[in-house]
Amino acid sequence: MNAEIKFSMVIPARNAERTLGACLGSLRAVDYPQEAYEIVVVDDGSTDRTAEIAQSLGAKVVTGSFKCIPEIRNAGARAARGEILVHMDSDMVVEKGFLRRAHEHYFEQGFTGCLSFVDKAPEDSNWLARLWHTPLRTKLHVPRRKDYLTTRNLFVPRAIIDAVGGLDEALFLGRKGGSDKEYTYRIHRAGFPLVSDPSQTLINLGYEKSLAEFLKKEWWHQGNMLFIAKRHGFPLRILRNPLLGLYHVLGLGGSLAALFLTPAPWALAPLTIWAFPSLAIVLRQASLGGQWSKLPPLWLVTFLRWNAAGISVPFQLANLWRKPCTRGLA
């Protein structure tokens, strides 16, 4: 570790030439001393100009062919020298105050946990992206404690890495999602706070271009949740996602059966039960953000999301005892 380098941005990238230039360009334009941070791009076997773009913008490039997402992020972490590791995605564009605000948290206020800022889709994106990636929580103007943060932008002090290790490479099957869920759960369980700060907003260029792509990503995000639960003794905090998804799939089956086997008035009961959990989630979000006009489309997307998650559960069960990705913690 170099004491002069405060932050190390670790960015996995595979054929990311479409967004990487904007991502790195925004990091080079932040209101923070250039010598006090570094950028590490982990090029996962790209066949386009990813490595060339990274080098042209002054990033350190780590190359390789990796088996899973945790392995890619850990490779970048091993090459990093800063006091605070910043896991980022290659399609995120930051504001000028991105590192200055993080500096206030860590080096002025003495914060010792993990930090994340909020993200949203570009203004010219489609309705789905603007709805889903401009979350209601951005209307809250103070940092909030969380029990989960995403690695799209995640600040991790070295003290946390020394205490809990890196992302778990032995847990995951292939390139499915869930590594950020497991990692921040482990950090939270070790007693370190997780905070989401809405004072900085990142632009997410990797937004979904269609509803089909959105549902495919949700399937991917849920792909290793039962592996995570098994790794930690099946705690309810991790099981709640698979259970909520499974509830929706059972609700789908019950609703279809009711439509064919019961009189019309009674068929509405299972439909209502099927829809209720998603509605409750969205009502809570709307009450926090006060954006009631977004309630109907947000409910629909949330409802479809949890049905997609539920469909993934039987496939996860079938793969639960397969050999995982590779070695253990980095």
- What is the mean pLDDT of the segment spanning 68-80? 93
How far is Cα 57 from Cα 37, in angstroms, rounded to an integer? Answer: 13
Tokens of 131: 């709805």
Summary mean pLDDT of the chain: 88
pLDDT at position 6, please?
97
pLDDT of residue 100: 97
- State the average pLDDT over residues 160-187: 87
**What confidence tier does 263 reach under pLDDT thresholds 50, 70, 90?**
confident
DSSP assignments along 39-51, one per residue: EEEEEES-SSSHH
Question: How sure is the predictor about 329, in pLDDT bands with cuts at 50, 70 and 90?
Answer: very low
How large is the average pLDDT for residues 227-249? 90
Residue 96: predicted pLDDT: 96
Q: Say yes or no to pLDDT of 267 above 90.
A: no
Residue 132 has pLDDT above 60, yes or no: yes
Q: Scan for tokens 């949890």, then name that residue.
A: 306
**How many angstroms separate the CA atoms of 330 and 270, rounded?**
47
Q: Which long-range contacts (CB under 8 A, 24 or more apart) does 281-287 make?
A: 285/135, 285/136, 285/137, 286/136
Quote the CA–CA distance of 225 and 238 in Å, as a whole number: 7
Q: In the prediction, which pLDDT does 288 show?
A: 54
| 81/276 Cα distance (integer angstroms) | 48
State the pLDDT at residue 88.
Answer: 96
194-204/92-93 β-pairing: antiparallel
Give, in order, the Cα–Cα distances in Å from 57 to each of 23, 65, 85, 125, 326. Answer: 10, 22, 19, 26, 32
Does the structure show a pLDDT above 70 at 4? Answer: yes
Residue 137 has pLDDT above 50, yes or no: no
- What the block records as the tokens of 39 is 């950028």
CA distances (Å), origin 5, targets 84, 99, 167, 255: 9, 12, 22, 57
| Number of other residues whose CB lies within 10 A of the CB of residue 65 | 10
Integer angstrom CA distances of residue 285 from 139, 236, 305:
10, 21, 16
291 confidence band (pLDDT: 50, 70, 90): low
pLDDT higher than 70, residue 192 = yes
pLDDT at 254: 87
- pLDDT tens-place string over residues 25-57: 999 999 999 999 999 999 999 999 999 999 999
Question: Which domains, from first to last, does the chain contain?
Answer: 7-208 (3.90.550.10), 230-318 (no CATH)
Residues facing 156 on adjacent strands = 85
Percentage of the chain exceeding pLDDT 90: 52
This prediction has a pTM of 0.89
Residue pair 297/132 in contact by the 8 Å Cβ criterion: no
Q: Which of these, 175, 157, 141, lies nearest to 325 by C-alpha position?
A: 175
- What tens digit of pLDDT does each residue of 106-122 get? 999 999 999 999 998 99
Distance (Å, rounded) from C-alpha 71 to C-alpha 65? 10
